[in-house]
């Protein structure tokens, strides 16, 4: 068929060619046929399904998981976690720490690292990133990570010195944040610059294209300091419906997808796919706007938690692929307090607590009221997430049984964040946190973070504030564990969230992808991709589709 198309094209321009000298005609025909009959170069690419679009392709501004996933491939931090969750060098080759009342970290940077536009990365870029974060005009939630830095100074072209005002145990982890280029963003408005949609990083993949609500395309960085990725391209397809994502996965339209629990068994049976499973670094919760009078009394929040059958949610919504959560940490982390027992499902206890808080059904309509105000609120979450939608439907039913009327509303992800969560225009919401490795939860729970951090529910507890500060100042692991256990117990009693569950991470990947490995003799081999403690895509720069396996054209 391909030969016929090209011959047809030749016939259509026959009159033009007959007017040419014979030798030119012969040369033209040979070149035309040779070029036309060559197969297109196969593209070694990975297509990922993403439920939501990114917001900012800039690690200083990003707040959502979609943006963070892409930024991790475009940008590098000074440090990163390896597959065993141990901090190791990234843009920094090594570092030195001096303790004392004012600890110091000296980072020795890699040489000959290039930004995607060819400019050299230096210590000036690190200093610039810090200055941008600390600039009050920058709309970032990262400032609290660096507010204890007393001085960030360029010691030479490849050395940066950090001096802290006081001991700060999460200090090293904070420098995993992506570094941004001074030469590109100096004297620009970081909040609105087009850089946020056309980023330039130092990472293994370069930005190529962003079609809003459709796709984001990255291409391999030929000059990456750890070596060019084996993949030529990564495409994030924005597919807001989980059912459509499953169809695309099963038919080859995408290669990687975070499986929803009810799809797990079905997708696991597909011989062309491998499904992985391990506890996630996060939890799903119902967050209450504590500026709303309905939720200011902790007895009310405790009552709502008692009224929700979380074991049933894990069993029937998660299909058993997760655990009930008791507080602000995933159940498998070293700082999780296993002595904390979850509030049991107890509708009668919920009614008692609500009554103690002054809520009674005085008019017999089935809805509790207080001072003439019915206990009625709107619960919001993002559309396209079947698990959160199903949780919302069940919560409606559970709370109706104890006299609380709930209206469930779903919004597209960007609208959900921009119009409701960020400006705090909500009663209650269903959301989830993806957390770091260090137990520091200052950004989420400290009262100073209500306006500028992640504390969008406006939670304030002076004792919690003290513990969070103490945890940042302590380096001894056992002492830190004691501090965060106390913090865990306080949060559990206050119930500013109803902590629902810690879900399993269940990514599915096409079997055609392999990991490139080299033996002691330098010979290349392919091995199966395995889940690591740091996740499945930790070493994506080593992924490849070997010859003989179908590639995308």
Return the structure tokens found at 501. 């569950």
Residue 380 pLDDT class (50, 70, 90 cuts) = very high
Cβ 305 vs Cβ 288: under 8 Å: no
Q: What is the dihedral of CA 515, 538, 61, 186, to 10 degrees?
A: -60
> Does the pLDDT value for residue 448 go beyond 90?
yes
> Does the pLDDT value for residue 73 go beyond 90?
yes
**Helical spans, DSSP H, in 297-426:** 298-307, 310-316, 347-356, 386-400, 413-415
Residues 367, 373: Cα–Cα separation, whole Å: 10
Question: What is the percent of the chain where pLDDT is above 70?
Answer: 91
Average pLDDT over residues 11-19: 38
> Does the pLDDT value for residue 2 go beyond 50?
no
> Does the pLDDT value for residue 33 go beyond 50?
no
Average pLDDT over residues 239-262: 95
> Does the pLDDT value for residue 72 go beyond 80?
yes
Lowest mean pLDDT among 2-11, 167-176, 225-234, 384-393: 2-11
Q: Which residues pair with 205 in a beta bridge?
A: 220
**Measuring CA to CA, how many Å separate 245 from each of 95, 249, 257?**
43, 6, 7
> Does the pLDDT value for residue 494 go beyond 60?
yes
Concatenating the DSSP letter of every residue in 184-195 gives HHTTS-TTT-GG
Return the structure tokens found at 392. 């919302």
Lowest mean pLDDT among 159-163, 292-296, 531-535: 531-535
The pLDDT of residue 154 is 98
The pLDDT of residue 281 is 93
User: In terms of Cα–Cα distance, which of 85, 84, 111 is closest to 438?
Assistant: 85
User: In terms of Cα–Cα distance, which of 115, 134, 139, 118 is closest to 193?
Assistant: 139
Span 86-124, pLDDT tens digits: 999 999 999 999 988 999 999 999 999 999 999 999 999
Residues 85, 355: Cα–Cα separation, whole Å: 47
The pLDDT of residue 30 is 36
Residues 285, 429: Cα–Cα separation, whole Å: 8
Return the structure tokens found at 224. 């990456």
Concatenating the DSSP letter of every residue in 276-290 gives --EE-SEEEEEEE-T
Residues 496, 302: Cα–Cα separation, whole Å: 9
> Does the pLDDT value for residue 267 go beyond 90?
yes
> Does the pLDDT value for residue 39 go beyond 70?
no
> Does the pLDDT value for residue 253 go beyond 70?
yes
DSSP assigned state of 448:
G
Residues 6+ apart with CB under 8 A from 118: none
Cβ 56 vs Cβ 245: under 8 Å: no
Return the structure tokens found at 442. 């200052």
Say how many CA atoms lie within 13 Å of 414 toward its Cβ.
11
pTM over 0.95: no
Can you state the angle between helices 298-307 and 347-356, rounded to 10 degrees? 160
Q: What is the dihedral of CA 521, 525, 527, 532, to 10 degrees?
A: 50
The pLDDT of residue 413 is 84
Lowest mean pLDDT among 34-43, 91-100, 116-125, 423-432: 34-43
The pLDDT of residue 436 is 87
Average pLDDT, the chain: 91
Pairing of strands 45-50, 79-81: unpaired
Residues 339, 462: Cα–Cα separation, whole Å: 23
The pLDDT of residue 200 is 98
Average pLDDT over residues 154-175: 97
Residue 530 pLDDT class (50, 70, 90 cuts) = very high
> Does the pLDDT value for residue 405 go beyond 80?
yes
Residues 128, 184: Cα–Cα separation, whole Å: 11
User: In terms of Cα–Cα distance, which of 146, 138, 135, 137 is closest to 177?
Assistant: 146
Q: Which residue did the predictor score with more confidence, 386 or 255?
A: 255
């Amino acid at each position: 068929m391909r030969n016929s198309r090209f011959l047809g094209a030749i016939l259509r321009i026959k009159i033009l060619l007959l007017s040419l000298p014979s030798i030119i005609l012969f040369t033209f025909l040979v070149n035309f046929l040779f070029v036309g009959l060559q197969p297109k170069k196969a593209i070694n690419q990975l297509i990922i399904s993403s439920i939501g679009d990114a917001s900012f392709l800039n690690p200083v501004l990003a707040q959502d998981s979609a943006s963070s996933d892409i930024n991790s491939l475009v940008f590098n931090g000074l440090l990163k976690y390896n597959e065993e969750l141990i901090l190791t060098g990234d843009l920094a080759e090594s570092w030195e720490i001096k303790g004392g009342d004012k600890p110091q970290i000296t980072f020795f940077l890699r040489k000959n690292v290039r930004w995607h536009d060819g400019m050299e990365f230096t210590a000036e870029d690190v200093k610039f990133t810090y200055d941008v974060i600390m600039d009050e005009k920058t709309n970032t939630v990262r400032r609290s990570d660096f507010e204890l830095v007393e001085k960030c100074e360029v010691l030479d072209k490849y050395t940066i010195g950090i001096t802290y005002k006081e001991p700060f145990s999460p200090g090293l982890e904070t420098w995993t944040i992506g570094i941004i280029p001074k030469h590109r963003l100096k004297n620009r408005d970081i909040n609105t610059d087009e850089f946020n949609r056309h980023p330039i990083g130092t990472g293994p993949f370069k930005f190529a294209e962003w079609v809003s609500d459709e796709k984001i395309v990255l291409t391999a960085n030929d000059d990456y300091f750890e070596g060019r990725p084996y993949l030529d391209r990564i495409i994030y397809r924005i597919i807001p419906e989980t059912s459509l994502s499953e169809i695309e996965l099963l038919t080859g339209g995408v290669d990687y997808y975070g499986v929803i629990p009810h799809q797990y068994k079905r997708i696991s049976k597909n011989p062309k796919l491998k499904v992985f499973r391990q506890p996630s670094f996060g939890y799903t919760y119902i967050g209450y706007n504590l500026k709303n009078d309905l939720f200011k009394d902790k007895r009310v929040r405790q009552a709502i938690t008692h009224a929700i059958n979380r074991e049933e949610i894990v069993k029937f919504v998660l299909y058993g692929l997760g655990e009930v959560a008791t507080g602000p940490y995933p159940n498998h982390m070293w700082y999780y307090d296993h002595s904390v027992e979850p509030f049991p499902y107890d509708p009668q206890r919920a009614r008692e607590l609500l009554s103690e808080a002054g809520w009674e059904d005085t008019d017999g309509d089935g809805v509790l009221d207080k001072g003439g105000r019915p206990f009625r609120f709107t619960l919001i979450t993002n559309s396209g997430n079947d698990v959160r939608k199903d949780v919302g439907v069940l919560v409606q039913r559970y709370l109706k049984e104890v006299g609380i009327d709930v209206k469930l509303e779903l919004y597209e992800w960007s609208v959900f964040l921009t119009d409701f969560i960020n400006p705090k225009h909500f009663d209650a919401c269903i959301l989830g946190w993806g957390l770091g490795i260090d137990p520091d939860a200052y950004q989420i729970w400290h009262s100073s973070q209500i306006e500028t951090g992640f504390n969008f529910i406006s939670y304030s507890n002076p004792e919690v504030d003290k513990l969070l500060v103490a945890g940042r100042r302590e380096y001894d692991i056992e002492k830190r564990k004691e501090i965060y256990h106390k913090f865990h117990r306080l949060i559990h009693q206050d119930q500013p969230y109803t902590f629902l569950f810690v879900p399993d991470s269940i990514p599915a990947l096409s079997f055609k992808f392999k990991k490139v490995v080299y033996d002691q003799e330098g010979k290349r081999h392919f091995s199966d991709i395995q889940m690591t403690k740091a996740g499945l895509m930790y070493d994506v720069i080593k992924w490849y589709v070997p010859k003989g396996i179908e590639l995308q054209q």
